[in-house]
Structure 1
Amino acid sequence: MTAGSGNGIIMDPRCREISDVSYTNFSLSLFILVGIMVSYLPQHIRIISRRSSYGLSPWFVLLGTTSGTCAFANILVLPKSRLDIGCCRQVDEFACVAGLLGIAQVGVQWSCFTVILLLFLIFFPRGSSATIGVGDDSTTKQHVVPGTSLANGSNDIDVQTNGATDADSEIITNNDPAIGHTNTPAANSLPHTYQTALLVTLLSVLHAVLILILSVYYVYLRPMHAQWWANFLGIFSTILASIQYFPQIWTTWNLKRVGSLSIPMMCIQTPGSFVWAGSLAKRFGSEGWSAWGVYLVTGCLQGSLLVMGAYFEIMFRRRERDELRGRVVYGAGESASGLGSEFLGGTGNGVDDSTQEVATEETPLLREG
C-alpha cells in the first residue's frame, strides 16, 4: 500500500519516489527513531540517579559528541538529503515526514549524546567532599572487611564504604573510630579533573561551530563540492567513532567496573546499530555509505565493550556475594567465640574469677558475715 501526493503536477523522480510511501519502511524507520531515544534513556537516568559521571571516559564523551556532530552534518549536507528536504514542497505532509525520518534519526542520536555530554559535565566528581559514585543519599554505610583486626587501640580500620543507594560505588577508605570520621576520595585521587570535563565540553562546542560554518560554506557557496564535503564528514565521523570506544574500553578495563556507564543502553544499541545501518543503506544506497558505514563500526566496538562490561559486573556481583557470606560467617564465629568464653572462662554470676577460693577439707561450711 502506498500514498502519493495526488496533486497532478510533474515531479522530480526522487520526489515521486518519496511520494510513493512504503508503510513497511515507514514503520521500521519510526521504530528505529523511537528506539534511539529509548536506548539513551538508561544512560541519562543512570548518571542522574547516581549523581555522578564517574566511570565515563572524558575522551569517550568527546569523541562520541564530535562523531555525532560530523554524522549529523554529513546527512544534512548530502545532496540526496537536501533533495529530499526540497521535495517537501511537492509531496504531502505524510510523505514528507516519512522521507525525512532518516535525517531525524541521526539528529535525535546526536541530540541524545549531547545530553550525555551535559550530564557528564554537570555530575562530574569534583571537590574533596565528592564521594565517587554515591547515590542520591550522601550517607554511607560501612562494612568491616573479614579478617580485619578489631583490637583496642587500633586507629586504622579498613572498612568498605558504599553509597547507601548504589552498591556499585564500593570503595575502600580508612576510618578512625575515635573521631568517627570517614575519609572520602580527594579530588586529586580521581583519574581526571573537572578542568578536563570543561575542556571536553569546550572542544565539543568549538567543533560543532566549525562544522556548521564549513557546511554552510560548501552548501551555499561551493555546492559542486558538497558531495565531497559530505564524504569527508562521513569518513571523519567513522574514524572518530572507530576510536571512540577505545578510551572507554581502557577505562572500564582499569576500573574493572562500568561505573556510570549503562549496560542496558549498550544492550539496546548494539543490535540497534546494525538495524539502523541497514535502514540507512536501504534509504541512501551505496552513495550514502558514509552515512551508514559509521554505525556498522560502532556496533562492533560497542558490542565488545558490552561483553567486557557485563563480565566485570557479573564477577563483581559474585565477589560481593562471597564477601557478604564471609562477613556473615565471620560475625557468627565471633559471636560463638564470645559466648563460649563466657561459659568456659567465667562463673557467669558477675563475680570476678580471681576472687574465688578453691574449696578444700579445711574450708568452713559457713562463712563469716
Structure 2
Amino acid sequence: MSGTCEPHHDASANALTAFMCIGITISYLPQHWRIISAKSSEGFSPWFLLLGSTSSASAMLNIIVVQWGLINCCQVLPFGSCVESIAGVLQLILVWVLFVLILVLYMVYYPPHLKYVELDVDLPNGLPPRHIKTPVKREGWKLSITLTWAVCVHIAVISFVTYMLLATNNPDEAYRTRQLRLWTMFLGVTSALLAAFQYIPQISHTWGIKLVGALSIPMMCIQTPGAVLMVLSIVLRPGTNWTTWISYAVAGVMQGVLLVMCIIFRGRQHALGLDDFGRPLAPPPSYPASQSIHIDAVPAVEDTARSSQRVLVDEAVGEDTPLLQTGAAKQNKGLFSWLKR
C-alpha cells in the first residue's frame, strides 16, 4: 500500500476545500440558532428534512466509496497528508452532520400546540369554554416521528451495505468489482434524485402557509451562491465524478427558488404587521383579570396566536380544569424523548 499511497499536494484545491468547510459551518449556524432562539421549528416540512438527510447521507457514502483507497492510505501517511488527501470526504461528512442537526432541532423544538389535538368544551351559565389538550397526536407530529425513524433506518442500512462491499472488495479503483461500481453509482444517482425532490415539499409547504416560519434567510443567502463553490471543490478532488457533485448542483438551484419565495413572503408579512410566524408585531391588548374571554370572540391570525390566547382561558377556568395534558407534558422531558413516542 505504501507504494501507491504517495501524498499529492494541490494548494488551490486544499485552500478551496478549507474555505468551503468554514463556509459550510458558518452557513448552517444561522439556521440552528434561529430554531433555538425562537424555540420553534414551525415552517419546516418534515418531507424536506427527510429527503435532505437521506440525500446528504448518500452523497457522503458515495465519496467514501470512490475515495476508499485514499482513506486506507491514512494508515501509512502522516496526519497532515492524510487530512489533505481525504479533505473532500470530511467536507461531505460535515454537510451531513450539520443538516441532520437541523432535523434533531426540528424534533426537539416542534411547536407544542401542534403536537396534540386540542378541544374547546363549552360550559353552561356563561362560563368561558374549557380548553383541553388531549393525548391524541396530530397527524403532522406523527408524520414527523415516522420520517425521523426512516432517516435513522436509511443511514443504518446504506452504511451496512457500504461496509460489507468495501470489506469484500479491493479498495483500488482499477480493481473494483462491478457490484461496488454499481453501488457507487446508485448512491450518487439516489443522492441527486433526493436532492432534486428535496425542496419540492418545502417549497409547496412554504407556498401554502405563506410564511417564512423558522426558515433562515441568511443561511439560504450564503448557501445558494455557495453551491457553485461546493460543486467546484468536489470536482477538483481526485477520484470523484459527476455522481458525487450533481446532487449539490440540483439542490443549489432549488434552494434559490425557496430563497426568493421567503424574501417575498417576509416583505408581505411585515407589510401586514406580522412576524415570520404570522403573529402580530404589536403586543396583544390587555384584558382586566375579572373579564371573561371567549376564545371564539378573539380573531386569530394563526394557530400560534390562538394557542397564546387559550392560555388566558386556561388561567381563567381555574383549578377545576381537567389536567388531561399531564401525560403529554411528561413525555416532553428529555432531549430525545420524541424517539419513544
Relative to the length of structure 1, the TM-score reads 0.65
Instruction: Sort the Cα spacing of 1:309 and 1:181 in 2 relative to 1 into closer, same or farther, 3 A.
Output: farther
Q: CA deviation at 1:69?
A: 1.1
2:271 aligned to which of 311, 315, 318: 318
Count of residue pairs brought into register by the alignment: 263
1:305 aligned to which of 258, 261, 264: 258
Q: Which among 108, 112, 115 is matched to residue 94 of structure 2?
A: 108
Distance 1:20 1:117 in 2: 37
1:196 deviation in Å? 1.4
Counterparts in 2 of 1:10 and 1:85: CA distance versus 1, 3 Å? closer
Gaps of 5+ in 2: 117-125, 170-175, 275-279, 285-341
Q: In the alignment, what sits opposite 1:227? A: 181
Q: Which amino acid aligns with 1:212?
A: S
Does the CA contact (< 8 Å) of 2:13 and 2:237 recur in 1?
no
Deviations 1:134-180 (A, max 9, x none): xxxxxxxxxxxxxxxxxxxxxxxxxxxxxxxxxxxxxxxxxxxx989
Corresponding residue to 1:41 among 26, 29, 34: 29
For residues 235 and 202 of structure 2, the distance between their equivalents in structure 1, rounded to whole angstroms, comes to: 28
Deviation at 1:301, TM superposition (A): 0.4
**2:143 is matched with which residue?**
196
Q: Which secondary structure does the structure 2 equivalent of 1:20 belong to?
A: coil
Q: Distance in 2 between matches of 1:110 and 1:59?
A: 16
Structure 2 equivalent of residue 346 of structure 1? none
> 1:120 aligns to what?
106
**One-letter amino acid matched to 2:183:** W
Q: Which amino acid in structure 1 is aligned with residue 148 of structure 2? A: T
User: Which residue does 1:257 correspond to in 2?
Assistant: 211
Distance 1:294 1:204 in 2: 18
Partner residue in 2 for 1:64: 52
Q: Could you report, residue by residue, the CA deviation over 1:32-83 in whole angstroms, capped at 9, with x for unpaired residues? A: 01111111111111111111111000100111111111111111112xx111
Structure 1 equivalent of residue 323 of structure 2 = none
Q: Percent identity?
A: 35
Bigger drift between 109-118 and 214-223 goes to 214-223
> Using a 3 Å threshold, how does the CA distance of structure 1 residues 85 and 258 change in structure 2: closer, same or farther?
same
1:82 matched to 2:36? The reply is no
CA contact (8 A) 1:129 1:184 kept: no
Q: Which protein shows a greater Rg?
A: 1
Residues 128, 184 of structure 1: 8 Å contact kept: no
Q: Give the drift of 1:217.
A: 2.0
1:30 aligns with 2:18: yes
Tell me which residue corresponds to 1:92: 78
Residue 319 of structure 1 deviates from its aligned partner by 2.2
- Tell me the residue number matched to 1:289: 242
CA distance in structure 1 between the partners assigned to 2:114 and 2:98 by the alignment: 31
Q: Give the RMSD, CA atoms, in angstroms.
A: 3.1
Cα distance in 1 for partners of 2:238, 2:261 equals 34
Superposed counterparts of 1:172-187, under 5 Å: none
- C-alpha change, 1:21 and 1:123, in structure 2 (3 Å) is same
1:188 Cα shift? 9.0
CA displacement, residues 307-326 of structure 1 (integer Å, 9 cap, x when unaligned): 111111112112228x989x
Residue identity matched to 1:73: L
Secondary structure of the residue aligned to 1:320 is coil
Contact kept, 8 Å, 1:127 with 1:186, in 2: the verdict is no
Task: Give deviations 1:193-243, integer Å, cap 9, x for gaps.
Answer: 321121011111111111111112221235512222011001001100100
Shift of the 128–101 alpha-carbon distance from structure 1 to 2, 3 Å rule, reads closer
The amino acid across from 2:192 in the alignment is: T
Could you tell me how far 1:25 is from its partner in structure 2? Answer: 2.0
Distance in 2 of aligned mates of 1:324 and 1:198: 32
For residue 291 of structure 2, what is the aligned residue in structure 1?
none
Query: Is there any run of 5+ residues in structure 1 with no aligned partner, and where?
Result: 1-8, 131-177, 328-369
- Structure 2 residue aligned with 1:272, among 226, 245, 248? 226
Alignment match, 1:210: 157
Equivalent AA in structure 1 for residue 90 of structure 2 = A
**CA drift at 1:187:** 9.8
DSSP-derived class of the 2:56 partner: helix
> Is the deviation greater in 27-36 or in 241-250?
27-36
Q: Secondary structure at the match of 1:278?
A: helix
Q: Residue by residue, what CA displacement relative to the aligned partner does 1:279-313 show, whole Å, maximum 9, x if unpaired? A: 1111146x521111111100000011001111111
Instruction: Tell me: CA distance 1:53–1:183, structure 2 relative to 1, closer, same or farther (3 Å).
Output: farther
Aligned residue for 2:30, secondary structure, equals helix
Amino acid at match of 1:82: W
